[in-house]
Amino acid sequence: MYRSHTCGELRESHINNTVTLSGWVQKSRDKGFMIWIDLRDRYGITQLIFDEERTASDLMEKAKMLGREFVIQVTGTVIERTSKNPKISTGNIEILVSDLEILNESLTPPFTIEDETDGGDDIRMKYRYLDIRRNPVRENLIFRHKVTMAVRNYLSEKEFVEVETPYLIKSTPEGARDFVVPSRMNEGQFYALPQSPQTFKQLLMVGGMDKYFQIVKCFRDEDLRADRQPEFTQIDCEMAFVEQEDILNTFEGLTRHIIKEIKGVEIGEFPRMTYDEAMQRYGNDKPDIRFGMEFGELNEVAKHKEFGVFNNAELVVGIAVPGGNSYSRKEIDKLIDWIKRPQVGALGMVYVRCNEDGSYKSSVDKFYDQDDLAKWAEVTGAKAGDLICVLSGDTLKVRTQLSALRMELAERLGLRKTDEFAPLWVVDFPLLEWDEDTERYHAMHHPFTSPKPEQIELLKTKPGEVKANAYDIVLNGNEIGGGSIRIHDKETQAMMFDYLGFTPEEAKAQFGFLMDAFQYGAPPHGGIAFGLDRLVSILGGQETIRDFIAFPKNNSGRDVMIDAPAPIDDTQLKELCLKLDLKA
């Protein structure tokens, strides 16, 4: 038995007990006649004491040799501490050690095992097993576990069944790129790793499972942007005999439960907003509604003068920045530089200072008078002391730019509070989106999403205007989940594949099994998938998913700790009937 208690467990009530603890040497203070050691395990820290008067001299000597991160086992007596430490749960006691065994030594770790470490990202990833010893990382992983347990228990309670779907499936060239797995037993053929269990969960609905969920790894071989992982985890859900309303209510319930259970925060009914409204009010289909700064469209009150920039723009739109009138000219110039960066891409910005005396001072005073500017203030909701920022141009572009500015300013103003949770539903997404590169429509959600039934006719004439029974759940400006009511009949599904540019042969080869299934009594069904990594990081008050993944990969898709991927043996390649065909 390596321990009678953990390092987080002992209290004053244990005084005089003989106990055995095991753990890591967090730090050691050697005063010569007395040595204190902080012993650490997952559960806490307990102070050990060795003292000339009460400790055998060979034990003193042994204690002096202990270095940081040595693994030791000690036996001793719990005694009251003279100088108590109220910051830790065991701070009232310490252990007078009578026996010490070194279970394992340690080299000096390459960075400090402290909450605030001196290790950079790269070294922490290479020695991730040491990084995990640090409280913040370990607590993130425990937090993630708590979230998944809350999800599983809630959904099980509601009669959802977790069903494991296969990982070795079939590649479908449509959508994102698949990771593929050569099959040795089926020469020249490949499995693919699932980008999501989408078709399988639909087949489970056809199979009458009624309510399905799964917390499951998914894979996408994409060029990695910051904070994307080639493998990621979804809370994947599907229900039969449901309309959109049923899905929204069920998963609003789940989300509310998680926030209550994990964060202790009660949330009322989630607001709902159409995609069109979200774009109009926030320039974004995942608006952060923890703060205002809503868009004010200024076309009617800004296009009547001689200002060509506005007159030629499709959309003139502004936001009121609270207290922004205090910005110096230099600060405003820097803001203008910021929105002109290629990542945002605005051509310029018009601004209006709302003075405390009710007057206005704008960068376009040449064209607009006080009455005009008062109207702008009214539309954007600007009050005395605010700054109105106005952009103009093509609707979609200018909305995206102003949304970026809104988020940036909110960040700077401290309006994105990590302990505040503002979920909402965005509904009525467009069914299709135009892709400039391929010059055809793509499914905005995926090809299994059903168009609004009353708009099916519109598909023939104005496909871009057709809305889908598709919805996203948004939390604090992040899409944490999305889903749709699915197509459940073969004809509509075939028609959709046709619109998306599949030949009937391609559709049959890739999704024949699903369309076959639809012919044998498929029920109406729909679902949703949450991105677990993102959800957990937002609930944890952070925005980097990597901090909530035990062994993440870097931006080149490498695990730098185990050094993967790596070359494989020629015999392995031969067995798989493959040859390397390197470009270089």
Give 340's Cβ-side CA count (13 Å radius).
Answer: 10
C-alpha 81/C-alpha 83 separation (Å) is 6
Position among 18, 359, 370, 556 found at the interface with a copy of itself (CB under 8 A): 556
Q: In angstroms, what is the minimal distance from the CB of 173 to a copy of itself?
A: 6
Within 10 angstroms of residue 551's Cβ, the number of other Cβ atoms is 11
458 touches a copy of itself (CB under 8 A): no
User: Looking at beta carbons only, is 141 or 309 nearer to a copy of itself?
Assistant: 141
User: Looking at beta carbons only, is 466 or 522 nearer to a copy of itself?
Assistant: 522
User: Looking at beta carbons only, is 219 or 421 nearer to a copy of itself?
Assistant: 219
Is the distance from CB of 476 to CB of 442 less than 8 angstroms?
no
Is the distance from CB of 313 to CB of 347 less than 8 angstroms?
no
445 touches a copy of itself (CB under 8 A): no
Position among 204, 320, 426, 535 found at the interface with a copy of itself (CB under 8 A): 204
Among the residue ranges 29-37, 89-97, 394-402, 552-560, the one whose residues contact a copy of itself (CB under 8 A)? 552-560
Q: Residue 111: helix, strand or coil by DSSP?
A: coil
Angle (CA) 313-318-324 rounded to 5° is 140
574 touches a copy of itself (CB under 8 A): yes
Position among 61, 121, 246, 435 found at the interface with a copy of itself (CB under 8 A): 246
136 touches a copy of itself (CB under 8 A): no
C-alpha 260/C-alpha 82 separation (Å) is 40
Position among 52, 61, 105, 314 found at the interface with a copy of itself (CB under 8 A): 105
CA distances from 375 to 146, 320, 405 (A): 51, 13, 22
DSSP 522: P
Q: In angstroms, what is the minimal distance from the CB of 75 to a copy of itself?
A: 14
Among the residue ranges 190-198, 296-304, 342-350, 435-443, the one whose residues contact a copy of itself (CB under 8 A)? 190-198
44 touches a copy of itself (CB under 8 A): no
Buried b (16+ CB within 10 A) or exposed e, 559-573: bbbeeeeeeeeeeee
Q: In angstroms, what is the minimal distance from the CB of 272 to a copy of itself?
A: 18
User: Looking at beta carbons only, is 63 or 474 nearer to a copy of itself?
Assistant: 63
Tell which positions 208-237 bind a copy of itself, by CB under 8 A.
208-211, 217, 219, 221, 223-224, 230-231, 233
Tell which positions 350-409 bind a copy of itself, by CB under 8 A.
none
C-alpha 65/C-alpha 100 separation (Å) is 12
181 touches a copy of itself (CB under 8 A): yes
Q: In angstroms, what is the minimal distance from the CB of 509 to a copy of itself?
A: 8
Among the residue ranges 141-149, 264-272, 318-326, 453-461, the one whose residues contact a copy of itself (CB under 8 A)? 141-149
182 touches a copy of itself (CB under 8 A): yes
450 touches a copy of itself (CB under 8 A): no
Tell which positions 50-69 bind a copy of itself, by CB under 8 A.
69
Q: Show the binding pattern over residues 144-163: x = contacts a copy of itself (CB under 8 A), - = does not.
A: xx--xx--xx--x----xxx
Position among 27, 81, 158, 170 found at the interface with a copy of itself (CB under 8 A): 170
Tell which positions 289-348 bind a copy of itself, by CB under 8 A.
none
User: Looking at beta carbons only, is 152 or 452 nearer to a copy of itself?
Assistant: 152
Amino acid at 132: I
242 touches a copy of itself (CB under 8 A): yes
Residue 438 main-chain phi, psi, to 5 deg: -90, -5
206 touches a copy of itself (CB under 8 A): yes
In three-state form (DSSP H/G/I as H, E/B as E, the rest C), the secondary structure along 366-427 is CCCCHHHHHHHHHHHCCCCCCEEEEEEECHHHHHHHHHHHHHHHHHHCCCCCCCCCCEEEEE
Position among 142, 176, 265, 396 found at the interface with a copy of itself (CB under 8 A): 142
User: Looking at beta carbons only, is 138 or 452 nearer to a copy of itself?
Assistant: 138
Tell which positions 469-528 bind a copy of itself, by CB under 8 A.
488-489, 512-513, 517-524
Give 325's Cβ-side CA count (13 Å radius).
Answer: 17
Kindly calculate the radius of gyration of the chain based on its CA atoms and give it in whole angstroms.
30
User: Looking at beta carbons only, is 177 or 375 nearer to a copy of itself?
Assistant: 177
C-alpha 119/C-alpha 128 separation (Å) is 11
Q: Residue 460: helix, strand or coil by DSSP?
A: helix
Size of the residue set binding a copy of itself (CB under 8 A):
129
176 touches a copy of itself (CB under 8 A): no
120 touches a copy of itself (CB under 8 A): no
Residue 432, beta-bridge partner list:
443
DSSP 270: P
141 touches a copy of itself (CB under 8 A): yes
Residue 41, beta-bridge partner list:
44
203 touches a copy of itself (CB under 8 A): yes
Q: Show the binding pattern over residues 70-99: x = contacts a copy of itself (CB under 8 A), - = does not.
A: xx----------------------------
Q: Select from 198, 200, 191 the least CA-distant residue to 175.
A: 198
**DSSP states of 144-208:** HHHHHHHHHHHHHHTT-EE-PPPSSB----SSSPPPEEE-SSSTT-EEE--S-SHHHHHHHHHTT
Q: What does the block give as tokens for 175?
A: 């959508």
User: Looking at beta carbons only, is 58 or 223 nearer to a copy of itself?
Assistant: 223
User: Looking at beta carbons only, is 71 or 413 nearer to a copy of itself?
Assistant: 71
Would you call the peptide bond into 194 cis, given omega within 30 degrees of 0 as the criterion? no
Q: In angstroms, what is the minimal distance from the CB of 40 to a copy of itself?
A: 8
